[in-house]
Structure 1
Amino acid sequence: MRKKNKSIPVNIMVDNFGGDISIEKIAVSDLISSDKTDLNGFEEAEQSHRHDRHSFFLLESGTVHIEIDFEKYKIKPSSVIYIHPDQVHHTVVSENAIVSSWAINNENLNPEYLKLLEDITPAKPLVLEDETFSIFSEAVSLFIKFSERKNDKLYHSLLKDSCNALVALVISQYLEQSKSTDKLSRFEIITKAFREILERHYTTAKRPAEYAQKLNISTPYLNECVKNTTGYSVSHHIQQRVILEAKRLLHYSDQSVKEIATELGYDDYPYFSRLFTKVTGMTALAFRNKNHD
């Protein structure tokens, strides 16, 4: 029977490094046939969760099927993936996988890297070139050796710097596949700023005018920028972000639809219900029942 949760489960990652940083390499056989215990980030398939920190996984061999925010991915060897603490995920199946992983919380993450990670969220699996993959693998192996030197005077600093170095390697790979900031058009720069603000305020700000005001531009101009860059209006993006969180809570928690509406900033419960149906094509309860089958 599925566990009852009033909110989305958060997996408090346990390690031997003080509870805030981890670097490790693990071998995972077929996940579905496991004893359903925690496998250092590759938990049993039925329990979806968030992590309490930024998590990175480098697949060295085997295959992993993972679902992140209702998107399914098949990850092949020589791939790396980043999972933000807000993202809900679970591993569907792991076939003879060898995975290097590292995780770090906000307090220990380089502030510059934190901002860059927000810009690339959500991140899809990234296939690395052979030379780059070799650098990643060698770096992880070296940093794991560092993590075993617990009696070193600067042990925590060494671990923190090692993990941040790996994070920087990941970010650099994602940035290579995207436009550099100095090449962005004015429309793209404003759209990027809008998305950053949306992530912080989607539960409290529901009108395009509120975001335009925060950006000190007119509402028509904000709409022009966003639609030109993405093909969709500001209202569309606001609704999509709200509905994503609603889907997470409907699927992974046992809050009522009314409770979820309130949490997402809608005092008008019927309006929220109509919005959910309009965006997804089904009622909130139908979505919950479908995904619990």
Structure 2
Amino acid sequence: MAKKTKSIPVHSLPDGHNLGIVVGKMSAKEIPLDEASHAHRHDFHFFIIQEKGVTFFEVDFKKYKISKSSVLYIHPNQVHRFLETTDTTIYGLLITNENLHPEYIDLLEEITPVNPMLIKEDSLSILTDTAMLCIKSFERKQDRLYHTLLKDNCNALVALILSAYLEKDKPAEKYSRFEAVTKKFKASLERNFTTMKRPSDYAKILSISTPYLNECVKNTTGQPVSYHIQQRVILETKRLLYHSNKSVKEIATELGYDDYPYFSRLFTKVVGTTAITFKNKNLD
């Protein structure tokens, strides 16, 4: 395992790309595995279209084998790394929040986390054609409307990828009231889990009662609101324990827990082992 750092490394766009968009096509030999194989986050959204080959990824402690034609979206918060690629050709889009349509940002928050998704040949053709349009736009820096054209074309690609994921979900108009409330709760949880730990905090944001929020979430997921709050905190704790050299007490403070003993008990209860044991198990 790579040497731990004081915090999880956050990769930014390569130097010289101050407009906040990078798009390109790469073969397996061109993927910078020396850098990408170490666990990291991004400060941008990362979209991958795999045209052919086999790729092994790890995203938030889950390993994925991506074979055949597939798409994958990685949210800026997710810790991930490339493990291996074989005979791979991929299109990649790196794009910051500032360049994404606000509606797409909201939808990406709603669908996160997502698994790699196989795509059919006709869908692949549309995606790769659009990706190539983005690449050509990216290269035409002399165009007077360069940034506008590039941003619009890349947002079209994001929309196509989003649509592919959303096709597997219910149309919004078919959500039950319980499902709609649960989706809003999960989106709010992602934004606020370090500062808001009580179900009543989220009920207040959604302008509903705490019992009704619990009823909606439990009806939809089988688990109460408190369970989802704890699971999100524990995921972030695991990320920091595994990928950084912060102490458990430092992590507790970072995640909004002044009561360190309580935080330690919570981790042990949810994970089945102490945070110290989990951390030591994954030391070099």
TM-score of the two chains, using structure 1 as the length reference: 0.92
Cα shift at 1:4: 4.1
- 1:6 alignment partner in structure 2: 6
- 1:56 alignment partner in structure 2: 47
- 1:77 alignment partner in structure 2: 68
Cα shift at 1:15: 6.0
- Which deviates further from its counterpart, 154-163 or 168-177? 154-163
State the AA in 1 paired with 2:13. M
Matched, 1:170 2:151: no
State the AA in 2 paired with 1:285. I
- 1:24 alignment partner in structure 2: 24
Q: 1:232-243 residue pairs with structure 2 within 5 A? A: 232-243=223-234
- Which deviates further from its counterpart, 116-125 or 217-226? 217-226
Q: 1:189-208 residue pairs with structure 2 within 5 A? A: 189-208=180-199
State the AA in 2 paired with 1:280. V
Runs of 4+ off more than 4 Å? none
Find the residue that maps to 1:292 and give its secondary structure: coil
Can you list the C-alpha shifts for 1:150-200, whole angstroms capped at 9, x where unaligned?
111111111111111110100111111101111001111111111111112
State the AA in 1 paired with 2:27. A
Matched, 1:231 2:237: no
State the AA in 2 paired with 1:6. K
Cα shift at 1:53: 0.4
- 2:141 alignment partner in structure 1: 150
Structure 2: distance between partners of 1:99 and 1:137? 9
Asked if structure 1 preserves the Cα contact closer than 8 Å seen for 2:20 and 2:96, the reply is yes
Structure 1: distance between partners of 2:3 and 2:149? 39
Cα shift at 1:291: 2.6
- Which deviates further from its counterpart, 47-56 or 195-204? 195-204
Pick the aligned partner of 1:259 from 242, 250, 274: 250
Matched, 1:94 2:85: yes
Q: What are structure 2's unaligned runs of at least 5 residues?
A: none
Pick the aligned partner of 2:277 from 281, 286, 291: 286
Can you list the C-alpha shifts for 1:178-223, whole angstroms capped at 9, x where unaligned?
0111100111111111111111221111111222222222222111
Cα shift at 1:17: 4.2
Structure 1: distance between partners of 2:151 and 2:170? 29
State the AA in 2 paired with 1:179. K
- 1:103 alignment partner in structure 2: 94
Asked if structure 2 preserves the Cα contact closer than 8 Å seen for 1:80 and 1:126, the reply is yes
In structure 2, the CA distance between the partners of 1:96 and 1:19, relative to structure 1 (3 Å rule), is farther
Cα shift at 1:236: 0.4
Asked if structure 1 preserves the Cα contact closer than 8 Å seen for 2:46 and 2:95, the reply is yes
Pick the aligned partner of 1:119 from 86, 92, 110: 110
Cα shift at 1:147: 1.7
Asked if structure 1 preserves the Cα contact closer than 8 Å seen for 2:133 and 2:153, the reply is no
State the identity %: 57
Structure 2: distance between partners of 1:157 and 1:267? 46
Find the residue that maps to 2:52 and give its secondary structure: strand
**CA-atom RMSD in angstroms:** 1.7
Find the residue that maps to 1:94 and give its secondary structure: strand
- 2:236 alignment partner in structure 1: 245
State the AA in 1 paired with 2:182. T
Matched, 1:222 2:206: no
